[in-house]
């Protein structure tokens, strides 16, 4: 898996401390024509559905993006695991089946942009259940230490059930000025559309406290298609 993705695909890495264990994420965004959606999904499912194609300790998730900006890619594939597991995945030699998988993907996928970052905080449901709907909100934050302090104080107490939320930094500043992201995960669309902090007074105070610290750059919603 040394050439773990098509050479020009987007790279998005996040390193985080979660449950006292460092976890790395690499995410690659790409564009697929609507007529090829099912074909691309089947390629991922057929390849990663085989145990011999999964590196122990690495989870693969495929998303389709919705409610997105005009410049956002249509799909994302995310690999997650400890730094050791991810290192093994990247260091292992490419197999014939992997090369064939990449060759087939190249017929339907076009690359997009790239970035990298680090998860700073995470709150909410701690079960292993899949939360299939996710909102990714990109921002330019001018004082991340102060913002994180406000973010942690509010969302550690005001997050509704069936949701998760995390804050992360982006290490390479984008052209649009994005420095950080907030990721909100929901059990389903009903939960997303009815999302409301449990403490409205705290929400107003939080909004006032961080309004001078952040500027929104872009956002999109993604739906989990498969997890292996």
Rounded alpha-carbon distances, angstroms, from residue 197 to 7, 100, 131, 138, 164: 42, 47, 18, 20, 12
Q: pLDDT (tens digit, 9 = 90+) per residue, 13-61?
A: 444 333 335 567 777 889 999 999 999 999 999 999 998 998 889 889 9
- The pLDDT of residue 2 is 45
Least reliable range by pLDDT among 65-69, 114-118, 131-135, 186-190: 114-118
Cβ distance 43 to 105 under 8 Å? yes
CA pair distance 63, 61, nearest whole angstrom: 7
Q: Is the pLDDT of residue 163 over 80?
A: yes
**Residue 115 pLDDT level (bands cut at 50, 70, 90):** low
Q: How confident is the model at residue 128 (pLDDT cuts 50, 70, 90)?
A: confident
Of 78, 75, 76, 64, the C-alpha closest to 223 is 64
Task: Report which secondary-structure segment, H or E, holds 209.
Answer: helix 200-210
User: What confidence tier does 86 reach under pLDDT thresholds 50, 70, 90?
Assistant: confident
Three-point CA angle 105, 109, 114, nearest 5°: 115
Burial 87-118 (b: 16+ CB within 10 A, else e): ebbeeeeeeeebeebbebbeebbebbebbbbb
> To the nearest whole number, what is the mean pLDDT of the chain?
84
| Residue of 221, 169, 213 whose CA lies nearest to 195 | 221
């Amino acid at each position: 898996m040394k050439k773990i993705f098509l050479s020009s695909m987007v790279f998005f890495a996040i390193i985080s401390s979660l449950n006292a264990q460092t976890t790395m994420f690499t995410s690659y965004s790409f564009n697929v024509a609507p007529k090829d959606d099912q074909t691309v999904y089947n390629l991922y499912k057929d390849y990663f559905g085989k145990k011999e194609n999964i590196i122990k300790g690495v989870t693969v998730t495929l998303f389709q993006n919705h409610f997105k900006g005009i410049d956002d890619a249509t799909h994302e594939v995310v690999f997650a695991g400890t730094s050791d597991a991810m290192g093994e995945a990247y260091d292992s030699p490419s197999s014939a089946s992997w090369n064939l998988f990449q060759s087939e993907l190249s017929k339907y996928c076009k690359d997009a942009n790239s970035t990298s970052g680090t998860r700073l905080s995470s709150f909410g449901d701690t079960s292993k259940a899949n939360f299939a709907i996710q909102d990714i909100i990109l921002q330019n934050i001018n004082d991340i230490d102060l913002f994180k302090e406000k973010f942690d104080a509010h969302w550690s107490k005001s997050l509704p059930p069936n949701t998760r939320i995390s804050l992360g930094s982006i290490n390479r500043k984008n052209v649009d000025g994005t420095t950080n992201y907030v990721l909100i995960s929901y059990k389903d669309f009903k939960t997303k559309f009815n999302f409301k902090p449990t403490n409205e007074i705290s929400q107003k105070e939080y909004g006032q406290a961080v309004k001078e610290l952040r500027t929104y750059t872009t956002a999109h919603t993604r739906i989990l298609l498969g997890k292996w």
